[in-house]
Amino acid sequence: MSPKKCPLDREQLEELTKQFSTPFHLYDEAAIRSNARALKAAFAWSPGFKEYFAVKAAPNPYLMKILKTEGFGADCSSLPELMLAESVGLSGEEIIFTSNDTPVNEYVKASQLGAIINLDDITHIEFLEQCAGLPELVCFRYNPGPLKGGNAIIGHPEEAKYGFTRPQLFEGYRILRDKGVKRFGLHTMVASNELEATYFIETAHLLFDLVDELFAELGIKFEFINIGGGIGIPYKPEQKAVDLTVVGEGIRKLYAEKIEKAGRGLLDVRMECGRMMTGPYGWLVSRVLHKKNTYKQYVGLDACMANLMRPALYGAYHHITVPGKENLPHNFVCDVTGSLCENNDKFAINRALPPVEVGDLMVIHDAGAHGHAMGFNYNGKLRSAELLLRENGEVVQIRRAETPQDYFATLDFAGLNNFKA
């Protein structure tokens, strides 16, 4: 069971809305830090363990900075993400650049930053060499195809556009070796939002075995394996979070059996989780604008799918609470909607809630990853502010809400670019 709680109660949220109008995303620094420490503790046996926060989950430098002070790096896959990592003072091998279908300027930037470059395809060896030169350390993304089952969000690995096939992996490392590359990493990422701890242990197993085979065939040693991100979070109250100590302990055992026994020197275990680092510690706070009773009951919020797209995009479940009404009977069944002119702009369908009134606050849980980040402007909808609850209880704004000027910023059209809200 994963009880769904917002760190601020109704009164505190109401107080906050005097300063910041709804909707807004709220993040909890103390909870983000304590989860980050739990992940580190699970891998305390591995001195080189490093988590590279997948920036796309919550691309806000204030959040990235919190994770940096916990010792984490950044996993980037675009130019602006690399710029964000740079802005918080991450550099060199604290950044891993895992891109695909990569444009020249991104390899150039990653290379200037000295980031670990994780290639998605064998043809990118030559592409990278031509646009930025081959660095001393290169990593490949492996796609195990039918050798590993995927899951619902990422799909079957053999249908996934990412990574090298097994034969390409051997060929690719041979090319690198022959070109004089000295340092090697091996990466894979085959699941997303996976709640089964054994899945990650099996992924490490797969990579440990592969490192052995690559050594046997090519005589190259690996500095690290990166088992990717994909640790899931319990979006539903009846689900259970992944037990990180089980993951850490399972990988430790394999490490002892396979890496320490082989005696070829140690390698680091790395990860690049996004969702589990911030997801459960972020909430979308909104207010009920309207109630509507037609063929169904509807509750309309001042937030819409531009603020949190997962339910509309994947039919994903996000728990919803009505602050102050948590303990009332949940016998009001309704669809919770936003205002976008798309019928899938619904945060919940046939959800049992307590009796809801216009003006009530609503809290949508587990919105801290792939939430604000997936925001968009379709239908003239504007992205909300992001607020951070500091460890001392203070709430600070870490991103302001968009205004119509932001929406028009890329237009040079009389009457719009001077628009005043």
Q: Which residues bind ligand PLP (CB under 6 A)?
A: 54, 56-57, 75, 98, 189, 192-193, 228-231, 272-275, 369
**Cβ neighbours of residue 413 under 8 Å, at least 6 residues apart?**
none
Closest separation in Å from C-beta 141 to ligand PLP: 7
For residue 74, count CB atoms less than 10 angstroms from its CB and return exposed for 0-12, middle for 13-18, buried for 19 or more. Answer: buried
191's enclosing H/E stretch is none
Sign of CA dihedral 277, 151, 371, 282: negative
Q: Per-residue DSSP letters for 319-360?
A: -EE-TT-TTS---EEEEEE-SSSSTT-EEEEEEEES---TT-
N residues, the chain: 421
Going from the C-alpha of 324 to that of each of 8, 11, 222, 301, 335, the distances in angstroms are 11, 8, 54, 17, 20
Closest separation in Å from C-beta 190 to ligand PLP: 10
Closest separation in Å from C-beta 277 to ligand PLP: 8
Which residue number, 125 or 191, has a Cβ lying nearer to ligand PLP? 191
Closest separation in Å from C-beta 390 to ligand PLP: 24
Which residue number, 84 or 231, has a Cβ lying nearer to ligand PLP? 231
Closest separation in Å from C-beta 229 to ligand PLP: 3
Closest separation in Å from C-beta 189 to ligand PLP: 5
Which residue number, 275 or 381, has a Cβ lying nearer to ligand PLP? 275
Inter-residue contact 31 to 20 (CB < 8 Å): no
Question: Rounded CA gap, 252 and 232, in Å?
Answer: 21
Closest separation in Å from C-beta 194 to ligand PLP: 8
Which residue number, 106 or 302, has a Cβ lying nearer to ligand PLP? 106
Inter-residue contact 378 to 291 (CB < 8 Å): no
Which residue number, 325 or 370, has a Cβ lying nearer to ligand PLP? 370
Which residue number, 88 or 369, has a Cβ lying nearer to ligand PLP? 369
Q: Per-residue DSSP letters for 58-69?
A: ---HHHHHHHHH
Which residue number, 189 or 211, has a Cβ lying nearer to ligand PLP? 189
DSSP classification of residue 89: T
